[in-house]
Homo-oligomer: A and B are copies of this chain.
Amino acid sequence: MIKTPYLLFLGDAPDMLAAKVAIGIRDWRPENAVGQLCLPGCGADLGLRELTLAGAKAAGAKTLVIGVANRGGVISAKWKEVLIAALAMGYDLASGLHNLLRNEADLVAAAHEYGRTLHDVRIPSVEYPIANGEKRSGKRCLPVGTDCSVGKMYTAMAMEREMTERGMKATFRATGQTGILITGDGVPLDAVIADFMAGSIEFLTPDNDDDHWDLIEGQGSLFHVSYSGVTLALVHGGQPDALILCHEPTRTHMRGLPGYQLPTLERLRDTALPLAQVANPECRVVGISINTQHMNEADARAYLAEVSQRMDLPATDPYRFGASVLVDALEAI
């Protein structure tokens, strides 16, 4: 577990596009961020308090989270200066960068000297078991997508928030680096060894109260040939009681695969549900989450109404219009 709250390091990020992790933390766990720290030339701004290392420490921050992608895949000397100063001041560091903190000799030396921890969330820190398929108590909901990057994480996050507001027991379970940094814990599923994928998800979503819901972050798509195996491990390791179908209607082909068309929502339903029922015969599809960011509001609402009627399921864009119809569907189970 990564210690919270965080100070969000934005470095010299050129723009907000580079700050996906920091934005996720601000949007979904604002209580985890005491403020932001920019270097000169930074083009990103979360609208949080700009704090120094010392100021954030005084405000309670325990971990400096690298909330941006770095340029050229190198941790620059300018960054290093701040990171080492943070370690000296008692911060842990957390990062989802491809190049690992643990591979930087000066950071390792400083962490050792000051007794701090370097969290590289791309790398599993646990030896996961092989999945045993045994039925666990509690309930689980998994968003599955017609493609990668269609809003599965935001769907689970938005549902968790709505459920918490209603007083329901709900926990978002992160399966990717952004989700792990946002919540401070999770499984970096894409970096797990093949044999242990499903087991890592069983580990992530253990026995729980009968009325508790895990909202499991989805990964990949059963129809995305690069990552489909990761998705099926999630479906079988998660043994979901409820599936949410996720889709982005304006996409012209599968992400990164120009020759591949997206499946219909019907095909996603008819593929994912029987596979999920292998692990949990009670599983059902309860709703549809549409990423409407490239549609105007009228088009978005019309699309949702059409899809909802056609599939006989509640449909929403949980980020834009709220997750209440999806949570209603879980409550009805």
Contacts and interface: CB of A to CB of B under 8 A. Distances in A.
A180 to B, nearest CB: 15
Contacts of A279: 225
* Residue from the set A239, A260, A271, A275 with the largest chain B CB neighbour count within 10 Å: A275
Interface residues of A, number: 42
B274 A226 contact: no
A274 to B, nearest CB: 7
A134 interface: yes
A305 interface: no
Interface stretch (A156-164, A227-235, A318-326): A227-235
A135 interface: yes
A190 interface: yes
Given A191-B195, A223-B278, A236 B230 contact: no
A225 B197 CA distance: 10
Interface in A216-247: 222-223, 225-234, 236-237, 239
A194 interface: yes
A259 interface: yes
A130 interface: yes
Interface in A151-191: 189-191
A227 B195 contact: yes
A233 B230 CA distance: 8
A226 B133 contact: yes
A319 to B, nearest CB: 26
Given A132-B257, A133-B226, A259-B133, A194 B195 contact: no
B236 A225 contact: yes
A225 B278 contact: yes
B194 A230 contact: yes
B135 A229 contact: no
A147 to B, nearest CB: 12
Given A226-B133, A229-B229, A237-B225, A194 B189 contact: yes
Contacts of A271: 274-275
A42 to B, nearest CB: 30
Contacts of A131: 225-226
B225 A229 contact: no
Contacts of A230: 194-195, 197, 229
Interface in A118-165: 130-135
A133 B267 CA distance: 20
B198 A190 contact: no
Interface of A: 130-135, 189-195, 197-199, 222-223, 225-234, 236-237, 239, 254, 256-257, 259-260, 263, 271, 274-275, 278-279
Given A226-B236, A228-B236, 10 more contacts: A190-B195, A195-B226, A225-B237, A225-B278, A225-B279, A229-B230, A229-B231, A229-B233, A231-B232, A232-B232
10 contacts: A132-B256, A189-B194, A192-B193, A194-B230, A195-B230, A197-B230, A223-B278, A225-B278, A228-B236, A229-B234
